[in-house]
Every structure is written in C-alpha cells, then in structure tokens.
Amino acid sequence: MIGRPVGSEVSLLTDNSTPMESFFTKLAPPAGVVGIREALEQGVLRQATLGDAVAFARAFQRHRELEFGAEPIPIAATDGKRVIYWRTPTWC
C-alpha cells in the first residue's frame, strides 16, 4: 500500500486470484545501474564522448536563446584530463 496510513474505519479488500507477478513485463530490461550496464554490453547504449557533451551544450544553449532570449552561459567540458571552458557563440 502506498500513501498515508488508513484509519481503523477503513477496511481493505485483498484478492489473491491474480498474482502480482502477472503484472510484471518479463521482457523489460532491468532498471537502474544494472540495466545501464546491460544496455552498454548489448550495444544499445554507448558511453558519451566529449563531442556528445559539446553538442548537448550547444543545443541546450540554442534552446535557451530561442525560447527565452537568454544570453549565452559559460559552458565547461572535460576530456578526462583537463577542463575546457568556452562561451558558446550566439550563432551556434
């Protein structure tokens, strides 16, 4: 049961005719870290690269500019050895 505790004036009904397991999706991938590891091993996901981070930062910045008229924000990325800072031009 999820939510607030029920008072003694409430009676709960249960029915075991349909087992809880029947609601599980047997073919669904595992959740959480286990699911991410499995997806990486199967090639469904790949590890993000510095290029992915740069592309995301530019797309995010462009969205801010178009949606809110926001000024460019400082963006930072890393290549695993150092942190690279730059300011995204408004034309990106």
Q: What is the pLDDT of residues 41-92, one digit of tens each?
A: 999 999 888 888 888 888 888 887 887 776 666 556 666 666 665 555 454 4
Write out the residue range of the structural domain in which residue 68 sits: 50-87
Q: For the chain, what is the domain count?
A: 1
Q: According to the model, what pLDDT value does residue 91 have? A: 46
**Position 42 in a domain:** no
Got the DSSP string for the chain?
--SSPPPTT-------SS-GGGGS-TTSPPPHHHHHHHHHHTTSS----HHHHHHHHHHHHHHHHHHH-PPP-EEEEE-SSSEEEEE--TT-
**Position 25 in a domain:** no
**Position 76 in a domain:** yes
**Position 74 in a domain:** yes
22 pLDDT more than 80: yes
**Position 66 in a domain:** yes
> Average pLDDT, stretch 16-40?
87
**Position 68 in a domain:** yes
